[in-house]
Structure 1
Amino acid sequence: MSQTYGRSPLWELYNNTQVTREAVGDLSNFKSSEVNYKLALWDPRVNGVRYLKTLAFTLAAGLSPANWARLRRIANREVGDPFSITYDGEAVCMDYLQAVLEVEFIESRMTLDGASILEIGAGYGRTCHALLSNHEIAAYHIVDLENSLDLASRYLGAVLTDEQLAKVHFHGVDQAEAGGALRELRFDLAINIDSFAEMTPDTVGAYLDLIATHADHLYVNNPVGKYLDKSLDGHSQGDAVVQLALRTGLLRDIVDIFDDRAVAAQSRRFIDAYRPGRDWALLADARAVPWSFYWQALYRSGAAGR
């Protein structure tokens, strides 16, 4: 072999371990094997963070000037040590990239300044953080399970100003019951992002009933269905968790989540499933970027439209 154009020590290793003579002799699945992970792709099984950061970088590159302004108004985004990239001198993580896109979707279709908001299942509170940083929200109510509520309370206490934090009210799920504090309030907007799909159907139905009688708008952002493609995550949490996940939410059809036509077709079921009542009008719906199988919709009650 030529010494000038021969293998480097690194490729000597690869040729003996991954791109072997035996491996390159079989075309049946080489593009999803160790061979291609050294020729064209990083191995997705061990490069999850690399791919997450690449996705964040790509999404940041496509942000509009208005969304950059929304993002920069959100202070203290680094709390919690997220996986971030740097774009245009700004540290950016996936959570807040999604948040500003959601804020853009909502604010282009309703007035948020002066609004009273209910968020059902707020996670650690990034949507609340984004909305309070971009609008003069009158009051922001969060209802959630105990441990998640404690995390949101701690996080929002760390990232919000005292004035912003004074507008946030934390409610245990018992306060959504008949006679609970949430039943005494009226909301301009109810929000659910990525948790209706993890509740029992009865619980989702109960929340939609609460929204139908106590809110004027609903913004929902959730998967259009379920998937069973083991290549995506190896069912790393075990088959028991997979079976539990398949039984939650209103939309339990198995969908090819990387088939845009299948997702678009299922999105029609999504729109019907999350409409709080017959008199609620759909104001807008769209895929929730960047995920292939998440959909978002904004509804307005018939009473609010009159």
Structure 2
Amino acid sequence: MSQTYGRSPLWERYNDTQVTKEAVAELAGFKSGDVNFKLALWDPRVNGVRYLKTLVFNLAAGLSPANWARLRRIAHRDVGDPFSITYDGEPVCLDYLQAVLELEFIESRLELAGARVLEIGAGYGRTCHAMLSNHDVAAYHIVDLENSLDLARRYLAAVLTAEQLDRVHFHGVSEAEDGGALRALRFDLAVNIDSFAEMTPGTVRAYLDLIDGHAAHLYVNNPVGKYLDKSLDGHSQGDEVVELALRTGLLRDIVDIHDNRAVAAQSRRFLDAYRPGPGWTLLADARTVPWSFYWQALYRSGASGR
């Protein structure tokens, strides 16, 4: 072999391990295997963080000036050590990119100054953090399961000012029951992001009934259905978790989540499923960036004066 144009020591190894004579002799499946993972594509099985950071970088590159302003108003986004990139000197992670895009969708259609907000299933509290950093809401109520609620309390205490934190109220799920504290309150906006799909159908319907009777608007952001594509994660949490996930939520149809027409068709069922009651009007809906199979919608109660 030519010493001038021959293989480097690195490619000597690759030719012995991945791009072997035997491997390149077979076309079937080579683009989703070791040959192409060395020639053209980083192996997604071990390069998840690389792809995540690439996704965040490209989303950051497309942010509007208004969304950059929303993001910069949110202080202490580095608490918890997220996977971040740096764009124009600003640290950016996926959680808060999604938060500002969701906030843009809501605030373009609803005045949030002075609003009383109820979030059902707040995770660690990034939506609350984003909203209070950008709007002078009157009160922000979070209802969640005990462990998640404890995390949200600690996180929001670390990232919000004392004045902001005074407007946040934490509720265990028992307070959503008939006679519970949440039943005595009225809300301008109820929010659910990515948790209705993980509840039992009965629990989702109970929350929608609470919203129907006690809220003027609902913003919902969830998957349009279920999927069974094992290539995405190898069912890494086990088949039992897969089976449990398939039995949760109101939308349990198996959907090709990377077929835009299939997702768009299923979104019609999404809009019907999450309408809290017959008197509610759909104000807007759209696919949720960046995910192919998440949809978002904003509804208004017929009893709302806002």
Per the TM superposition, whether the score is higher than 0.5 is yes
Identity of aligned residues (%): 84
Query: How many angstroms does 1:49 deviate by?
Result: 0.4
Aligned counterpart, 2:180? 180
Query: How many angstroms does 1:88 deviate by?
Result: 0.8
Aligned counterpart, 1:54? 54
Aligned counterpart, 1:276? 276
Which residue identity is paired with 1:125? G
Matches within 5 A, 1:175-214: 175-214=175-214
Aligned counterpart, 2:65? 65
Q: TM-score, normalised by structure 2?
A: 0.99
The yes-or-no answer on 1:154 pairing with 2:148 is no
The yes-or-no answer on 1:82 pairing with 2:82 is yes
Q: Cα RMSD over matched residues?
A: 0.6
Aligned counterpart, 1:130? 130
Distance in 2, matches of 1:268 and 1:286, equals 11
Secondary structure class of the residue paired with 2:303: helix
Which residue identity is paired with 1:122? A
Secondary structure class of the residue paired with 1:299: strand
Aligned counterpart, 1:141? 141
How many residues are aligned here?
Answer: 306
Query: How many angstroms does 1:76 deviate by?
Result: 0.1
Which residue identity is paired with 2:67? N
Distance in 1, matches of 2:184 and 2:88, equals 46
Aligned counterpart, 1:291? 291
Secondary structure class of the residue paired with 1:295: strand
Runs ≥4 in structure 1, deviation > 3 angstroms? none
Distance in 2, matches of 1:247 and 1:76, equals 37
Aligned counterpart, 2:27? 27
Query: How many angstroms does 1:305 deviate by?
Result: 5.1
Query: How many angstroms does 1:196 deviate by?
Result: 0.1
Distance in 2, matches of 1:82 and 1:109, equals 30
Aligned counterpart, 1:42? 42
Distance in 1, matches of 2:185 and 2:107, equals 22
Secondary structure class of the residue paired with 1:245: helix
Which residue identity is paired with 1:281? T
1:101-139 deviation per Cα after TM superposition (whole angstroms, max 9, x unaligned): 000000000100000000000000000000000000100
1:245-298 deviation per Cα after TM superposition (whole angstroms, max 9, x unaligned): 000000000000000000000000000000001110000000000000000000
Distance in 1, matches of 2:47 and 2:19, equals 19
Aligned counterpart, 2:110? 110
Q: TM-score, normalised by structure 1?
A: 0.99
Secondary structure class of the residue paired with 2:304: helix
The yes-or-no answer on 1:220 pairing with 2:224 is no
Distance in 2, matches of 1:305 and 1:143, equals 25
Secondary structure class of the residue paired with 1:296: strand
Query: How many angstroms does 1:216 deviate by?
Result: 0.1
Query: How many angstroms does 1:46 deviate by?
Result: 0.3
Query: How many angstroms does 1:210 deviate by?
Result: 0.1
Distance in 1, matches of 2:87 and 2:285, equals 29
Aligned counterpart, 1:253? 253
Distance in 2, matches of 1:276 and 1:266, equals 18
Secondary structure class of the residue paired with 1:82: coil
Matches within 5 A, 1:235-254: 235-254=235-254
Secondary structure class of the residue paired with 1:81: coil
Which residue identity is paired with 1:278? P
Which residue identity is paired with 2:85? I
Where does structure 1 lack aligned partners over 5 or more consecutive residues? none
Distance in 2, matches of 1:305 and 1:152, equals 31
Which residue identity is paired with 1:276? P
Aligned counterpart, 1:91? 91
Secondary structure class of the residue paired with 1:58: helix
Aligned counterpart, 1:165? 165
